[in-house]
Each structure stands twice: as structure tokens, then as C-alpha cells.
Amino acid sequence: MGNCIQGCKDYFSRQKNTNIRLTLPVVCFVWQIAMIILFGVFIRYDEESDTHWVETKAHDNITSDIENDFYFRYPSFQDVHVMIFVGFGFLMTFLKRYSFGAVGFNFLVASFGLQWALLMQGWFHSLDPQTGKIFIGVESLINADFCVAGCLIAYGAVLGKVSPVQLLVMTLFGVTLFAVEEYIILNLLHARDAGGSMVIHTFGGYYGLTISWVLYRPNLNQSKRMQGSVYHSDIFAMIGTLFLWMFWPSFNSAITDHGDGQHRAAINTYLCLASTVLTTVAISSLSQKTGKLDMVHIQNSTLAGGVALGTAAEFMISPYGALIVGFFCGIISTMGYIFISPFLEKTLKIQDTCGIHNLHAMPGVIGGIVGAITAAAASESVYGKGDMGRIEGDVPEGEGLKLTLSPLFTGSILRLPIWGDPADENCFDDEVYWELPDEEEEHQESIPPILEYNNHMIHKQQDL
Amino acid sequence: MGNCIQGCKDYFSRQKNTNIRLTLPVVCFVWQIAMIILFGVFIRYDEESDTHWVETKAHDNITSDIENDFYFRYPSFQDVHVMIFVGFGFLMTFLKRYSFGAVGFNFLVASFGLQWALLMQGWFHSLDPQTGKIFIGVESLINADFCVAGCLIAYGAVLGKVSPVQLLVMTLFGVTLFAVEEYIILNLLHARDAGGSMVIHTFGGYYGLTISWVLYRPNLNQSKRMQGSVYHSDIFAMIGTLFLWMFWPSFNSAITDHGDGQHRAAINTYLCLASTVLTTVAISSLSQKTGKLDMVHIQNSTLAGGVALGTAAEFMISPYGALIVGFFCGIISTMGYIFISPFLEKTLKIQDTCGIHNLHAMPGVIGGIVGAITAAAASESVYGKGDMGRIEGDVPEGEGLKLTLSPLFTGSILRLPIWGDPADENCFDDEVYWELPDEEEEHQESIPPILEYNNHMIHKQQDL
Amino acid sequence: MGNCIQGCKDYFSRQKNTNIRLTLPVVCFVWQIAMIILFGVFIRYDEESDTHWVETKAHDNITSDIENDFYFRYPSFQDVHVMIFVGFGFLMTFLKRYSFGAVGFNFLVASFGLQWALLMQGWFHSLDPQTGKIFIGVESLINADFCVAGCLIAYGAVLGKVSPVQLLVMTLFGVTLFAVEEYIILNLLHARDAGGSMVIHTFGGYYGLTISWVLYRPNLNQSKRMQGSVYHSDIFAMIGTLFLWMFWPSFNSAITDHGDGQHRAAINTYLCLASTVLTTVAISSLSQKTGKLDMVHIQNSTLAGGVALGTAAEFMISPYGALIVGFFCGIISTMGYIFISPFLEKTLKIQDTCGIHNLHAMPGVIGGIVGAITAAAASESVYGKGDMGRIEGDVPEGEGLKLTLSPLFTGSILRLPIWGDPADENCFDDEVYWELPDEEEEHQESIPPILEYNNHMIHKQQDL
């Protein structure tokens, strides 16, 4: 009895305060009100979503409403939107008891992030100097979703180890940093990165990994029992995988040039991803004694091709070129899960819950290199006169220092003991931040009556 | 022993006859045959889906097939279609043992409803006076799906408490009523309501609530053990939530004007819904002692912004205006789940399984008010000359009496003892209308062998 | 004790070698490399996805990028893509312990199949005689997905009974055969079959059934305990059903003529499928004593209308004609599950796991007949002058022999003992080819502490 009380004391002394009843509502309310004010000051409809479009059409000699950019990009936008909310959200539901957190916090973070992204990207890329306003249309929505993708990738590294308030802070800094980094790469270095290999995936990957490194938990094995998947949670995760995989052609083609640009980007991504699946399966099967497949690989590495083709998707990489990129990405990403992830955790003290290093960071770097090679190989005969001017940027190399210091700073802020993050033994457990359904009743139903009788009998025997 | 027999007798006397082997097939067959006959008499392809489109094009000086309305609206139509079947269907799977009924009856009801809606809406809105025919195209399909949405909202109020035959009857009357109500609001009062705040959501909400009131079950707590969710069912429900949330911009823009109208409606809804998520999370967290989130709120209240922007989505409400609408809807809807739903059940005797009052009825009313304010504030300078004429309607206020008597009538019909509805203790249980998989074997597998041995041992001990 | 050892021996002697660590990686690597080489030699971007599109436009007097075929077909393509990967994949997750195999092998097979299909269809249909190249665009991707659909249908017949290597071999031969068959039907017989009633569904159905017949397992009841569904797996399967059902209008309209052709095909399929749902429910309810519904029927037969309208979807079948087709398909397909499937298994020795005979093969045949009747009834007054020339093909009758011998050959190859297929008692079990999550811990958690104590007590008693 005394032992039990001592155990309880130990338990509660180890407990962290995960009460977020003050911080979470305050952050949500204050930030949302700030968004409303800033939108009121800065954001307006662009000329294609404004009622004055009728005059714009007349002025530009456009004969049909179908030439509104909406019709070029809206189907792709909706696919990207599905990737952000269902794709990323469900991909992270693989943990046996963190599916609420995976899909729910993903939802919260993305909803805030896309508003903040519209502002940050607007200020950096499209602030009208005359009016001081940001004019938004469907392409702005796509870019906001892209920016959010970077933050959700970072979430993958710290999944289950942070509170929703920390995630919102991570997103606030992440979107800010993203806009700066994107400005450097696209506007100062004049690189093209329509599908965001570097801008989105490498950035999001290393941002998340750096934060995870700062937040290193040496005693994370105390929640080891919660770190695996169960059969059904793996199938939920496949919903995320497949929607990401299927709609990646839309992701890489959503903001490319009208006409052949979008067309080609979709074809290349489609082919590249098909190739990735085969090599992922091959390596996954090779890694086990009897050739069994590992769901972690199938859920994640099959997507690496889409990441790596982000930069080059719109280029004339040619169909077989796309297949080659996918071929190697499947191999490298799966190998990453087998060899690099354990190394990162043991040696570099980086705990990467979803293995974003293998799915986003590494393939993103490959994507930058592939883009650089393809751009360098581009000649006027391949691209024709009309398009040549567009592919002249270089892949950025430096600028790393400034950008890596920022996540360190963000990570340090997140270490403050005010965010309600879980104790080591409570990681990966929805119990901490969610009202969970009471499933006791069901469990009792599943116990056959005879066993309940047993209990009764044994108690009686004890009494005797 | 005698006690047990008495209990069994009581049990079976309370049992209602839920055999629907006669009624369900008869209703399905007869109504489907009626649809075929009525379609044969009335429904034809419109000029854009008929082979004579080639002549229409020539006549209207249309140079390209891409200007067929199909290409303006088909992507939005497919998104709406997903909302109807996966969105509404899976949103209702949250109950631990009514997921078959949720997704299956949703499927049945929507499939019948859309056929009947094409006829009813056709008769009221687009019956060609010369030929006596209804000409349908992609916009008709969207409108039919919209009409079905109203009936599925009503299903949410009575989920788990009615038989599929009752649902079909509810849908028959619901669609009829919907067409009348829509005619009054849109054609007589000249209001605009592209996303259906009033026409779809308020109507569907109060239609369902009235029926639920008529069908009040004082002893519903007898099936209390079935009324909750389990961990996995809550994740299934999130599939519904997210597809509704993501595709709501398509819902609100699907039948707005080509060009800037569709463009603006999508942007406004996108922003509004993002704002709703933050305030929903804030209030949900505030409502619990330790700030934990409640899945019911996340699954439902996050969608209230889309409902409330239905009327005003195409107006020049401006981006920050959309955020403000979302801001308040998240608060009001979540508060509704916390305070109003218990009040409705206890005081007004309205049992609202899915809380449609908080998700559809109330936000729909807000949407009507927002629409009225935005329309009133519209000036020629904002809308330009071209569009001014379109926004002159008023939000309807009266006409309530006629429309509320009809659901009372429908409810009374549903109280007849011929529809095979479940007894109070069998509500929310798929067992009643579905052949369920036999899961005993699996349960036995999950009992470790040693326990089975125990059973054996104890039996032996008893025998001694 | 000796008995137990003997049992274990028997068990292991019956065990087949399911080690695929050599074959699966080799097949994946070699075939993927072959794809890369063949793509390098043959596949190029077509004129609408090439950078030279700017010149093509000028040459063809196209004024806007929106007339690129991409914008006519990409939304439909993405819907078809979802059907292939989520639709077919999740439809097959209904088995209690084969969901990994269903969705995972579907993913693998489709990813290989679409590459091989681009080549095979290219060689047969669009090899440019001058350059010896195949030029691909978005329509090629749709056709590749269609071809893959045929192979995935065949997978449904052998689900749970074959190894992933066998599936890849099946797909290699299936795609090859598909291209030949499609060439005969479309190019030699000049039939039109845009939605693939005959080309895709009947072909895929009988291809799979023939192979299943060759691979007949007389002792399959040894894995009977794995052949059913559990509650959650049936809901996962409904995800597949609904995405197939909702996007079928896109499937049947994806490659029809621009303008009214696509428009009409979508409307017809939408109506036809709605009608199918009602008659499926009616027959399913009739088939049970108390009118309960059977999930197998709802998951499968509701889709039969889409299959059967494949050929005629673009024709002027008229809205009520579409409803009639759906009406009968729901009846026939559900009856197939009730009466024909048991007959096929007992008498013809065809074990059809998913009942593809009722969902694809039979409705496909109906579709061919409906198409023939509709085409025959077509007159110039209905179709106008412009379109008349297009509907002149006949439904093929012969050619069956050559096409049925090929699956026999494929089946024979698959009987070789080198493919790592499972033993009879291991069929329908993911254990064989997948690393499954260790769920013991969870099970132990679900055992109330008192029971664990019981175990302890009883052991003690035994010792006494």
C-alpha cells in the first residue's frame, strides 16, 4: 500500500503540467484577431476575383470568362488542398494512439498557417507599391498551401512530442522564415522551384529536424509502448499516403506556366512517382529476412519521387528522365529509413518521428540537384525561343547560416516551460490533449461471460 | 431462472418489429420505377449536353468547346459530389456501432434524393413552357446534390433512431418541400443564395429538428451505451469533416457566376473556414478543465463558417469580412454544442444526434443575416455596373408557417407503426438493419491461451 | 506432447516457401530498369505538353492556353487516378486481415502497370511511323490508368491467394493482352467504348476469373477464419466504394469528345449509378429473412451501373435510358452475389474473392449489349450531322478464343512453384508478406488487471 502511494507520488512528480486551457485559447483568439486586422489593412481581391473583372477582360481583349486564372488552377488547387489536410493529416495517423493529434493538430496548424502565409508571402512577393495592398487570387491560395506544407513537414519530426501551442509557435516562425527563404531563392537567386523541392521540402525538413534536435528527449523510450502502429492505424495512414501520391502531379503543376508547362509537370510527376513505388518495394523487401514489406516504407518512401521532381517537373526532363529520378529516390529514401534514421537518433540526437529526413529533406536536396542539372542541360533547341528566358536561375548554395540559426532560435523558444508539452512518458498519447471516448464498456463486452464468472469464483476462493 | 425468463419476456415485448423485408424493397422498386417513368416524360439533355451543341455553338458564336458550361462547373460538381457521399456519410460514422447505417443509408437516401430533386427543381425552376420538358446539364446535377444536402442534414438529427424506409419518406417530402421553399426564396423574393445558407442549411436543419421533435423518444437513454464514439470511429468521422471542409469552397462557388464570381466565392470560403478552425479550437479547449479538445467540436463546428458564408460567398464581402464571419461562427457553433444541445434535448424535447442545430441551422441563419448586410452595403462603386443588378434581393422573413407545418406533417406520417423503426434500446445499433460480420472468432483469438486454460481449470474445480 | 510435435511437423510440412526476398526485388528492379530504357527509346511529350506548344498554337490558330487538352481532361484524369489507387485499393480492404495486401499490392501493381500500359498502348495505337516514337499527353495517362483498371479487376478475383510477384506477372501479361484486345475492338472492329464496358471490365473480369480457375485451391477452406470482414474493415471498404461511385462519371467521360460528349457521358453515368443503388438495396434486403442489408452488396453491386454504362455513356441514351440500365444492373449484380458466386465456386471451381464476376464481368457484357442497341437505334436526327460518323462500330463477337487462351497461359505460368504464393491455410493473411505491427501489448492492456491476477492465482493453485 505504501509502495503504491510512493509510486503515485513519483508518477505525479514526473508529470509535466500539460494544461493548455489558458495558452491555447489565448493564442488562437489573439492571433486570429491579428489576422483579421492585418487582412483588413492589406489584403484585397486581385483583378480576376474582383467584380471589376468585367472591365479587366475588356481591357485585355479577353473574350471568355474561361480564361480567368481560376479555371487554369482551381482543380489543381483543390488537389493541393486535399494533400495538405487529408494527405499530411492522415499520413501521420500511423501511431496507435496519436491519430487525433495527427489529424487534429494538422488541421489547426494548417488553418492558421495559410492565413499568415498569405500575408507574409504577400509582403515579400506581391505588395503593390502604389496602393500598399496585397492582391490575392487562386494562385495566392496555392502558394499559401505550399507554405503550410513546409510547416507540416516540420510537424512530422516532432509529432507526438509537442503541444498544440508549440505547434502554433513553430508555424508562426516557420511561415515567416519560409517567406524570407523563398524570397532569397526565387527573387534574389532567380531560381525556379515550382514544386518546391528546395523551397518547401528541404526547408521544411531541416527546419523540423533542427527543432527536434533542440527539443531532444533523452528519456523518450519511456513512451516506447506508444510509438508503434496498430493494424488499423496503418491503413488510416495509407489514406494519407495515397492522396499525397495521387495528387502530387497537381502539386508540382499547380503554379507552373499555363498550357504545356502545367501539362508537362503533371506527366513528369505521374511517371516519377510510379517508378518510386517499385524501387521502394524492392528495397523494403530486401531489408527483411523473408522479404516481407514494411508499411513505414510503403507509406513514406513511395512519395520521395514527387518531392525530388518538384524543381524539375516543369522542365524538359523527358519521360525517362522522370523515371530515373523516381528510381533512385525510392532506393535512397527507403535506405534512409533503414540506416540513416537510427543513426540520426543515436549519434546526432535527432528524434524524427515520421522520418521526414528520408521523405522530404534528402529528396528535396536531390530535387535541387536534378533541377540544376536539367536547367544547365537546357538548350534553346529543346525549349524553343519562347520559353528559354525562364530557366536561367541557379540553385542556391549559401545563405544556409542565416536560415539555420532561425530554427535554432525557434527551438530555444519552444524549450521554455510555458507551452504545456508532454512529459517523456506521455508522448505519442492523445490522452494528454484530447477528451478520449470511454471505451471501457466495449472492452467489458468483449470479455466472454465465463471469464467474468471466473473472476467471481476466484474472489470467492480468496475469501475462503 | 424464472427471473431470467421474465427478463427475456420483457425484452421481447419491448422489441419493435424492425423487419423491413417487405417495405424497403417495395419502396425502392416502386419509387425507382416512378423515377424512370417521370424522367422519360420530362427530362431531356440541355443544349450543352446534347449532340446538337455543335449547332448551338455556331449560333452563339462560341469558338471553342472549352466554353461549354461543363468545363466551368464540372470540377466543382465533383467536389460537391464528394461532400454529399463521403463528407456527409463519413461525418456521421462517429457512433461506435452505427457506421454502416451512417454511410450506407446516406448513400441510399442521396441516390434517391438526387433523382427526385432533378424532377422537383425542374418543375419549379426550369420547365420549358413550350415543350413541357426539363432540360438538364451539369448545373442541374449540382443543384440536385445541393437539394440532397438539405435532406442529409435532416438525417443528422434523427441518425440512429429511424429505419431506412423512414429516411426515404423523409427524403421524398424533404425534396418536395425544398423545391417549394427554394422557389419562394429565390424566385418570388429574388434573394440570392448560391451556397445555400438559408435555402439548404437553415431549411435542412429545421426540417430535421422538427421531425426529431415529433419523433421524440423519452426512453432513449436505454441505448445510452451505443451513443458514444470509439477511437477509430472518431477518425473515420474526421474523413467526413475534412472532405466537407476542404471542398466547401467548391460548394459555395459551384453555381455562382462564371469568372470572378466563382473565383471570389472560393477565396472567401477558403478564408472563412480557416478562421473558424481557430475559434472552434479555442472554445473547445476553454470548455474543459485542463484545456483538452473535444472531437465533437473539431468534427462539426469547424465547418460552421462554410455554412454561414453560403449566401455572401459570391458578394464583395472582402477577405477580412470572410475571416470575421468565420471567427464568430466557430465560437457560436462550439458554444451551441456545449450549451444549446443539452437545452434542446431537456427542455424542448429535441434529440439531435449530430447536433445539426449548431452546425447547420444556426450558422445558416447567421449566413442569411450576413448576406442581407453585405447586399445592403453593396454600392455601385464596389460591384461595378455589370454586376449591380444581380444583388437586389432581400432575405426572406415570413413564409415560415407554411414551411414548418410540412415537417410536422412528415413527422406525423413517420410515427405510423409501419416503417420498422427500432425500439429505444436498439437505437444507434447497426445490428437492426445490417448483417454484421461475425467477430467472435477474433475476440477469442485475442484471449491468451492461459485464460482459456483457466476456464477449463475452474470448471474442473467446480465439478469437484 | 508428442501429439503437439506431430502437429507442428504437419504444419511446417504443409507450409509453402513464401520467401520473396529474392524474386520481388529482382522483378521490381529489372522491370523498372527495362521501363526506363524503353521509355528512353520510345516515349516523348506530345505537342501539347512540349515546349514547342507555343508554335503549335500559332500554327493551329489557337488563341488561348486554356484550349490545351490538359484543361479538358485533367480534372477527369485526377478522378480516375483516385479510382485506381484509392477506389480499387480500399474496395479490397474488406477482409479482416488482408488490408495491407489489398491497398499495398494494388499500389505496386498499378504503378508498374501504368508504365507498361503507356508503352503497349503506344505501340498499338499511337506509334508515329515517321519518328518511331510514342507521343504522350494527358489522354495517354488516362488510357494507361484505364488499362491498369483491367488488371486490378483481375486482382480482385485472386485477392489473398497470390504473392506480389505473381501479381506483377499477371499485370505484365494482362496489360499486354489488354492492348491487343483493345486494338481489336477499337481499331479493327471500329467499336466505341469510351468507358470501357467491354474493353476494361469484361476483359478484366474474365482474365481474372480464368486465372483464378487455373489457380483453383481445393483446400481453401483451411483459411476460412480469415475470409470474412470485421466491422472496421467494412467501413474502410466503403471508402473505396464511394470514391469509385462518385468519380465514375469522370471515368466514363474522361476520354469522350470535348464539349457535349464529355458533358453527356457524365450526366448519364451520374443518373445510372443513382438508380443502381436503389435496386441493389432492394434485392439485398429481399435476400435476408428480416430484410437486413448485406455490406458485400452495398460495397459492390452499387457500382455495376457505372460498368454497364461504359460503352453507351457518351451516346444519346437519354436520361431515362440511363436510369433503366442502372435499374437492371443493380438487380443482376446483387443476384450474382447471392446465386452465381456460390455456383461458380462449387461447380466451375472458380474462387472469386471479390465477386468480380458480378461487379465487372457480367455488367460489362450488359454494357456491350446496351451500347450496341443504342448505337443501332441512333439516327441522324438524334445525333445531328456532325457526330453521326462516330458511332458506326459493331460490338465484337468472335476473337474470344485467342483472348481466352492467353489467360490460361498466364495462369499456367503462375502455377510454377517459384513465385512464393501462400499455402492454403495462409491465404488472406497479411502475416505472409508484411511486417505486422506487434499488437500484443495493446491486447494485454485490454485485459483488466484482475484477470492477470487470476492467471497468477491459478498458477499458484496448480503448484500446490
Tens-digit pLDDT profile for residues C332-353: 999 999 999 999 999 999 999 9
Residue C144 C-alpha from the chain's centroid: 13
Judged by CB atoms closer than 8 Å, whether chains meet at B24 and C291 is answered as yes
β-pair type (C43-45, C293-294): unpaired
Q: Are C79 and B78 in contact (CB under 8 A)?
A: yes
User: Containing H/E element for A205?
Assistant: helix A203-214
In the predicted model, what is the mean pLDDT of residues A364-379?
Answer: 87
The pLDDT value recorded for residue A431 is 92
DSSP labels for B351-394?
A: --TT-HIIIIIHHHHHHHHHHHHHHHH--HHHHHHHHHTT----
Q: Choose the CATH number for B17-446 among 3.30.300.30, 3.90.1150.10, 1.10.3430.10, 1.10.10.10.
A: 1.10.3430.10
Judged by CB atoms closer than 8 Å, whether chains meet at B439 and C231 is answered as yes
| B61 touching A (Cβ < 8 Å) | no
C126 min Cα distance to partner chain B (Å): 24
User: In chain A, what residues touch B231 (CB-CB under 8 Å)?
Assistant: 97, 99-100, 436-437, 439
Judged by CB atoms closer than 8 Å, whether chains meet at A437 and B79 is answered as no
Given a cut of 80, whether residue C454 has pLDDT beyond it is no
Long-range contacts of B50-54 (CB under 8 A, 24+ apart): B50/C260, B50/C264, B50/C316, B51/C260, B51/C264, B51/C316, B51/C382, B51/C383, B51/C384, B51/C386, B51/C387, B52/C384, B53/C259, B53/C260, B53/C263, B54/C259, B54/C260, B54/C384, B54/C386, B54/C387
Q: Which of B35, B81, B442 sits opposite C230 (nearest CB)?
A: B442
A79 min Cα distance to partner chain C (Å): 9
Amino acid, single-letter form, for residue C326: G
A68 min Cα distance to partner chain B (Å): 6
Of residues A3 and A429, which shows the higher confidence score?
A429
ipTM computed for the complex = 0.90
Alpha-helix residue ranges (DSSP H) falling in B122-202: 138-158, 164-182
In the predicted model, what is the mean pLDDT of residues A381-396?
Answer: 45
| A34 touching B (Cβ < 8 Å) | no
Record the cell numbers describing residue C50, joined without a space.
Answer: 512540349
List pLDDT tens digits, range A224-274: 889 999 999 999 999 999 999 999 999 999 999 999 999 999 999 999 999
Record the cell numbers describing residue A44, joined without a space.
Answer: 484585397
Q: Which of A289-293, A401-405, B355-359, C428-432 has the lowest mean pLDDT?
A: A401-405
Distance CA A349, CA C402 (A): 62
Helix (H, G, I), strand (E, B) or coil at A45: strand
Given a cut of 70, whether residue A390 has pLDDT beyond it is no
Kindly give, in sequence order, each residue whose CB lies less than 8 Å from that of residue C425, ignoring residues fewer than 6 positions away: C14, C219, C222, C223
In the predicted model, what is the mean pLDDT of residues A334-339?
Answer: 96
Cα dihedral angle (C265, C271, C276, C278), rounded to 10 degrees? 170
* Architecture, CATH, for domain C20-430: Orthogonal Bundle (1.10)
Q: Which of A86-90, A195-199, C20-24, C386-390 has the lowest mean pLDDT?
A: C386-390
The pLDDT value recorded for residue C195 is 86
Given a cut of 90, whether residue A328 has pLDDT beyond it is yes
In the predicted model, what is the mean pLDDT of residues C167-195?
Answer: 89
Give the confidence band of A375 by pLDDT, cuts at 50, 70, 90: confident
Backbone angles phi, psi at A435, to 5 degrees: -70, 110
Cα dihedral angle (A385, A391, A392, A394), rounded to 10 degrees? -160
Q: Are C157 and C212 in contact (CB under 8 A)?
A: yes
Please identify among residues 281-310 of chain B the ones whose CB lies closer than 8 Å to any CB of chain A: 281-283, 285-286, 288-295, 298, 302
Given a cut of 90, whether residue A182 has pLDDT beyond it is no
Given a cut of 90, whether residue C59 has pLDDT beyond it is no
The pLDDT value recorded for residue C450 is 41
The pLDDT value recorded for residue C399 is 54
| A242 touching B (Cβ < 8 Å) | no
Please identify among residues 176-195 of chain A the ones whose CB lies closer than 8 Å to any CB of chain B: none
Backbone conformation region of residue C61, classed left if phi is above 0, alpha if psi is from -120 to 50, else beta: left
Given a cut of 90, whether residue C306 has pLDDT beyond it is yes
The pLDDT value recorded for residue C390 is 42
Helices first, then strands: H and E counts in chain C: 21, 4
Kindly give, in sequence order, each residue whose CB lies less than 8 Å from that of residue C26, ignoring residues fewer than 6 positions away: none
The pLDDT value recorded for residue C401 is 60
Record the cell numbers describing residue C151, joined without a space.
Answer: 488488371
Record the cell numbers describing residue C312, joined without a space.
Answer: 453507351
User: In chain B, what residues touch A437 (CB-CB under 8 Å)?
Assistant: 96, 228-231, 233-234, 295
Q: Which of A84-98, A371-385, B236-250 has the lowest mean pLDDT?
A: A371-385
User: In chain C, what residues touch A441 (CB-CB under 8 Å)?
Assistant: none
Alpha-helix residue ranges (DSSP H) falling in B83-163: 88-91, 99-121, 138-158
Please identify among residues 75-134 of chain B the ones whose CB lies closer than 8 Å to any CB of chain A: 75-76, 79, 96
The pLDDT value recorded for residue C417 is 85
Distance CA B427, CA B216 (A): 13
The pLDDT value recorded for residue B407 is 84
Altogether, the residues listed in chain A come to a count of: 464
C230 min Cα distance to partner chain A (Å): 11
Q: Are A14 and B350 in contact (CB under 8 A)?
A: no
Contacting partners of chain C (3+ CB pairs under 8 A) = A, B
Residue A33 CA: distances (Å) to CA of A117, A144, C257: 16, 19, 50
Distance CA B449, CA B446 (A): 9
User: In chain C, what residues touch B438 (CB-CB under 8 Å)?
Assistant: 228
Could you please state the CATH topology (level 3) that the domain comprising A22-50+74-379+391-422 is classified under.
Answer: Ammonium transporter fold (1.10.3430)
Contacting partners of chain A (3+ CB pairs under 8 A) = B, C
Residue B267 C-alpha from the chain's centroid: 23
pLDDT tens digits in sequence order for chain B, 464 residues long: 445 555 444 444 456 788 898 999 999 999 999 999 999 999 999 999 999 888 888 888 888 899 999 999 999 999 999 999 999 999 999 999 999 999 999 999 999 999 999 999 999 988 999 999 999 999 999 999 999 999 999 999 999 999 999 999 999 999 999 998 888 888 887 888 888 888 899 999 999 999 999 999 999 999 988 999 999 999 999 999 999 999 999 999 999 999 999 999 999 999 999 999 999 999 999 999 889 999 999 999 999 999 999 999 999 999 999 999 999 999 999 999 999 999 999 999 999 999 999 999 999 999 999 998 888 887 655 554 444 334 444 444 445 556 667 888 888 888 888 888 999 999 999 999 999 998 644 444 443 444 444 444 444 444 44
Q: Which of A182-191, A322-331, B310-319, C134-143 has the lowest mean pLDDT?
A: A182-191
Distance CA A42, CA A31 (A): 16
The residue behind cell 448586410 is B373
The pLDDT value recorded for residue A392 is 42
Q: Are A391 and A376 in contact (CB under 8 A)?
A: no
Q: Are C420 and C18 in contact (CB under 8 A)?
A: yes
